[in-house]
Amino acid sequence: MSAATGPLPRLGASAPVSEVIAALDGAGCAVIESLVSPAAVAAVLGDLAPYMEATATGQDEISGALTRRTGAVPSRSPASWEMLQHPTVLAIAEHYLAGPDERFHICTAVTSDLLPGQRAQPIHRDQWTYGGFPWPRGFEVEINILWAMQEFTADNGATRVIPGSHLYDDGLELEQSVTVPATAPIGSAIVVLGSCYHGAGSNTSDMNRVALSVAYQRAWLRQGENQYLNCPPDVARTMPEGLVRLLGYQRGCMALGYWRDGEDPMAAVHPDRTYHVGLGMGPDPQGDNADA
Ligand SMILES: O=C(O)CCC(=O)C(=O)O
C-alpha cells in the first residue's frame, strides 16, 4: 500500500489533547493550527537570525544542498523555551514516549531553512535514525514537531506527509506523488510520529521556508544532537529546570543516566540544590519539583 489512507487531520489550538491523539492514532500526522502566536515565532527567529545566517547548507540529499539546519536552539534562543515545553506538545510526547518507569527527552531542536530552489527531501521515517532497527508497528520511539515559522504553502516547501503511512511496512521508497502538503498558518505545529512517512517539500517560491523541528524521543535512545555539548552545566544553569531535564539531565529509566554515585544529573547543574540519590527514578521531572 502506498497512497494516503485518509485526509491530513487539522485541529484548532484549543483542541483537547485526547482529540489530537485520536487524530495521530488514525493518521500518524496532524496539524495543530496556530498553536503559538506570530509574535512568539518572531522572537525565536530574532534570537536565531545570526546563527542561521552563518550556517552552511547541507552536503547530502537528506540534509538538502539548499537547506540550512541550525541546531543548539535551546541555548541560542531563550524565546524558544516556551515552544519546547508547550503543554500540548509535552502531553503528546508523554502519551507516545513515556510510561510509569520511562521518560522522554529532546532528541533534536533544529531549524530547517529551505532556500528557494531546494528540491523535495526523500520521503523517510524519522525512526530510521536508529540504525534501521525494526520497531514493531504501533510502537513509537520518536515524535517530531515541525513548527511553521511562517505560513507553510505547497509552493514554499510545506512538509509533505502521507496520512496513514504509520501503518505501512518499513523500508519503503515512496514517491512524492503519494504525499500531501501540510499547509499551515504561521505558529502551527505539524506533528509527525516517528513511524509516519514524510519529508520537506520543494521550495519553488522566491523566499526561504523555515521550520523549527523539535524531536522528542524515548529517553533510552541516543540523542540526535549531543545536548550535553550544546548545553553544558554552566549554560544549563541559566535555564528552567524542567527544560534542562528535557535536554537529558535526568534518569531516563531506572538506573539509566545517573551521575557519579547514583546522583541526579541535575546535581551537576545546581550543586547547591538537593536531589534524589539512588538508582530509582526520583521525582517526576514534569511535576512540582521541576522548577525548584
Ligand atoms: O523541514 C521539513 O519540512 C521536514 C524535515 C524532515 O523531515 C527531516 O529533516 O527529517
Give 104-113 pLDDT, tens digit per residue: 999 999 999 9
pLDDT for position 287: 45
Residue 210 has pLDDT above 70, yes or no: yes
Nearest atom in ligand 1 to 199's CA:
7
Would the CB of 198 count as within 6 Å of ligand 1? yes
Residue 217 has pLDDT above 60, yes or no: yes
| Closest CA to ligand 1's atom 4 | 200
Residue 127, all three cell numbers: 525512526
Residue 154 has pLDDT above 60, yes or no: yes
Q: For residues 284 and 214, which has the higher predicted lDDT (pLDDT)?
A: 214
- pLDDT band at residue 285 using 50, 70 and 90 as cut-offs: low
Among 69, 159, 179, 203, which residue has the most ligand 1 atoms within 8 Å of its CB, making it the best to mutate?
159
Distance of CA 113 to the CA centre of its chain: 15
pLDDT average, residue stretch 120-143: 97
Assigned CATH for 10-218: 2.60.120.620
Would the CB of 200 count as within 6 Å of ligand 1? yes
Among 29, 110, 198, which residue has the most ligand 1 atoms within 8 Å of its CB, making it the best to mutate?
198
Among 66, 107, 121, which residue has the most ligand 1 atoms within 8 Å of its CB, making it the best to mutate?
121
> Can you give the pTM of this predicted structure?
0.96
Residue 268 has pLDDT above 70, yes or no: yes
Residue 2 Cα to ligand 1 midpoint, Å, equals: 20
Nearest atom in ligand 1 to 114's CA:
1
% of the chain residues with pLDDT over 70: 96
| Residue 214 bridge partners (DSSP) | 109, 145
What whole-number distance in Å separates Cα of residue 170 and Cα of residue 211?
A: 26
Residue 286 has pLDDT above 50, yes or no: no
Per-residue pLDDT reduced to its tens digit, 14-69: 999 999 999 999 999 999 999 999 999 999 999 999 999 999 999 999 999 999 99
pLDDT average, residue stretch 96-102: 95
Would the CB of 224 count as within 6 Å of ligand 1? no
Would the CB of 199 count as within 6 Å of ligand 1? yes
What whole-number distance in Å separates Cα of residue 212 and Cα of residue 111?
A: 4
pLDDT for position 292: 40
What are the domain boundaries of the chain?
10-218, 231-292
Residue 284 has pLDDT above 80, yes or no: no
| Closest CA to ligand 1's atom 7 | 199
Residue 139 has pLDDT above 90, yes or no: yes
Would the CB of 166 count as within 6 Å of ligand 1? no
Q: Torsions phi, psi of 43, nearest 5?
A: -65, -40
Residue 65 Cα to ligand 1 midpoint, Å, equals: 13
